[in-house]
Amino acid sequence: RSVAQTGTLGEITVVALPCAWVYCEVGHHLLGKEAPKPSHPYFEWLQLYGSPEFAEVTRWMREVVDRCAKTAGRAEKARMEEAFLISSQYEWMFWDMAWREEKWPI
């Protein structure tokens, strides 16, 4: 089943949260080390994901998820948890693949 097609607001938001959260953390970490020059190959990526504005978007997403979880029934909470875990696993796999310099398998 597609969460984007049939999921609740909580499920849809929680599926996107791991990506936003990780990118926000990585962007802030890297910008905290040294301000990149515009010639840096990831300059625009760093400026976006390390920005206070993106941190605010990520915070808002976490708040939406928390609010939805507070009012969700047991079944919906279980679906939200499963969606978050699967999405987090995909994020981990993506970063691990980059770390290992693997090629996309398909």
**12-99 maps to which CATH number?**
1.20.910.10
Tell me what pLDDT residue 103 has: 87
Tell me what pLDDT residue 25 has: 97
Q: What percent of the chain has pLDDT over 70?
A: 99
pTM here is 0.86
Task: Count the Cβ atoms, other than its own, within 10 Å of residue 92.
Answer: 12
**Residue 14 above 80 pLDDT?**
yes
**Residue 61 above 70 pLDDT?**
yes
Angle of CA points 37, 41, 44, to nearest 5°: 70
User: What residues are annotated to the active site?
Assistant: 19, 91
